[in-house]
Structures are given as C-alpha cells and as structure tokens.
Amino acid sequence: MQKNQRTKGEKGKLRPETIIVAGSAKLPENITAKHVFGYVAIELEIDLADCTVVDVSCTLLPSLGEKIIYKTLLGSEVREGIEETIQQLERRFFSVTKRAVIAALEDAYKWYKKAIIKRNSNLLSETALSTDV
C-alpha cells in the first residue's frame, strides 16, 4: 500500500472522480465534549479510480490525534476493507475517544460500501438503457 503524497494544504481541491463519505459515533460519557457535541465524525474523500483515501477530516480531536488519524488513513486502499487501518489505530492511538473514532471510521466505511453499490447499480442501469436503444 503506497501512501499518497498530498498535503493538508491541498484540502480545498476536490477531484472529479472522488466521493465523500462521513461516519459518526457517540462520544464517551466521561468527557466534556460529549455534553457539548455528543458525536465525533470522520469524513473521507475517496478516489474511485483506485479506491484510496485522498483526504481526511475528523472532528473534536487534538492536533496530534488528528495527525495520527490523517497519517494512518491518507493513501490507504479501502476496496477490500479497513481492518488494517483499524489495527494501526489500535496500535498507535491511545485516547478515551479511541473507540468512538474507530466506530466513526466503521460508519464511514459502511457509507462507502453503500455508495459503491448505488454507483454500480446506476452504471448497470445506464448500460442497459444504452443497449436498448
């Protein structure tokens, strides 16, 4: 798995063949942010050409926590799953919010799978329509 060399300075550029998926999870009861925000969210921009994560956003994490999430996810290939990414987070990220972050990532992956199914369904419909003409 080769990591993409994009930097945070390029975050404003949305590429034409990408999708954005977002996942969220409840924060633990014992942190202040739970009473203010309630949830942590992770957004992934995924390039459909090779199913790699080209950008990442995560709410409510301190800068070093966000850096670990960003470095772990950026360039990862999600077509076959996110188990390796979760294992890296389990080894490298230690916080009261870890379980919520992983749950938000799993939720984002669920939305990715739904988007791929919908996209493939639409492509099949378009192909069927073009062959009927």
* Mean per-residue pLDDT, 35-53: 88
The predicted structure's pLDDT at residue 122: 74
The predicted model scores a pTM of: 0.78
Q: What is the pLDDT of residues 52-92, one digit of tens each?
A: 999 999 987 788 888 999 999 999 999 989 999 999 999 99
Structural domain boundaries in the chain: 15-132
Any idea which of 82-91, 94-103, 124-133 has the lowest mean pLDDT? 124-133
φ, ψ for residue 72 (rounded to 5)? Answer: -70, -40
* Mean per-residue pLDDT, 32-38: 67
Tell me the CATH number for domain 15-132. 3.90.1010.10
**Residue 124's pLDDT band (cuts 50, 70, 90):** low
